[in-house]
Amino acid sequence: GQQVMQIPQYQHVQEGEDFTTYCNSSTTLSNIQWYKQRPGGHPVFLIQLVKSGEVKKQKRLTFQFGEAKKNSSLHITATQTTDVGTYFCAGRNDMRFGAGTRLTVKP
């Protein structure tokens, strides 16, 4: 079945630094979604990517979907303490989530 791998598992940055998390699938994805889970909270939808090579931006967040639709990335520019949490990608084909990248930000 489809495997969705995420790296890195953890990332600790100084406030103001950039952050990137990567998601890789063993099979082609029809679409990919990104979620954010704050500590003690539940996953909250951020965005969905559908088209090959698609790039979407939400303020300081940039999401990319690879040309082969097997990988995706989330980049945060100039992190803030409010960005703290775990970021998950999810292949919507079969509902599977990656293990997530836990981001901590030092003020």
What are the residues binding other proteins (CB under 8 A)?
Answer: 1, 6, 30-31, 33, 35, 41-45, 48, 88, 90, 92, 94-100
When the beta carbons of 10 and 80 are compared against other proteins, the nearer one is 10
Q: Which is nearer to other proteins, 14 or 95 (CB)?
A: 95
Whichever of 39 and 107 has its CB closer to other proteins, that residue is 39
- List C-alpha distances in Å: 91 to 36, 41, 52, 88: 15, 21, 14, 10
Rounded Cα distance between 32 and 11, Å, is 22
We find the least distance from the C-beta atom of residue 103 to other proteins, in angstroms, to be: 14
Residue pair 79/103 in contact (Cβ under 8 Å)? The answer is: yes
